Amino acid sequence: MSRLPAARGFSLLELILVLAIGAGVFVIVLGVAPRGASSADLKASARALASGLRQAQSTAMATRRDAVLTVDMESREFKFTGDARPHTLPQGIELKLLTSQTEVESERKGAIRFYADGSSTGGRITVASGERHYFVDVDWLTGRVAINE
């Protein structure tokens, strides 16, 4: 009579231990990894800025007076003529403003101005989180606002 060879493999206890260690490492990595804004937050922020720019342009044309959208890049806020309350963008959003030198208030604050005829000083607001970004462009001649990736 022959004996069956002893089964080789891992016990249930060893498998549970390995899975528990793996789960612990996974939780630590997720907790330490820097979290930026989600894609939805990034796109929503670009759309909110574009909407504010369009409203500033409409205000300028309707009132026949200059209207501005002011961006505070440090606090991630913007406000525009016709709506004095600040609009705050989500955490993890980085802003950069390219505008006319006459519209720069400080290193972290500037504006894009619209005139009564619909034209503007023009510029670009970059909304970014890590490697992802959107460009909110304002054409100086027509005042047209566009979002580009």
Domain ranges of the chain: 39-148
pTM (two decimals): 0.76
Residue 7 is predicted with a pLDDT of: 64
Convert the pLDDT of each residue in 10-28 to its tens digit.
788 888 988 999 888 888 8
Contacts 24+ apart (CB under 8 A), 54-59: 54/145, 55/80, 55/82, 55/83, 56/80, 56/81, 56/82, 56/112, 56/114, 57/114, 57/118, 57/120, 57/143, 57/145, 59/114
Residue 12 is predicted with a pLDDT of: 87
Question: 17-31, 39-53, 69-83, 86-100 — which is least confidently predicted?
Answer: 17-31
Residue 15 is predicted with a pLDDT of: 84
Residue 38 is predicted with a pLDDT of: 85
* pLDDT tier at 8, thresholds 50, 70, 90: confident
Q: Does position 81 have pLDDT exceeding 70, yes or no?
A: yes
Residue 1 is predicted with a pLDDT of: 58
Residue 102 is predicted with a pLDDT of: 95
Please give the class, per CATH, of domain 39-148. Answer: alpha beta
Residue 4 is predicted with a pLDDT of: 62
Residue 110 is predicted with a pLDDT of: 97
DSSP state letter for 11: -
Mean pLDDT of 47-76: 96
For residues 72 and 49, the answer to whether their CB atoms sit within 8 Å is no
Residue 29 is predicted with a pLDDT of: 76
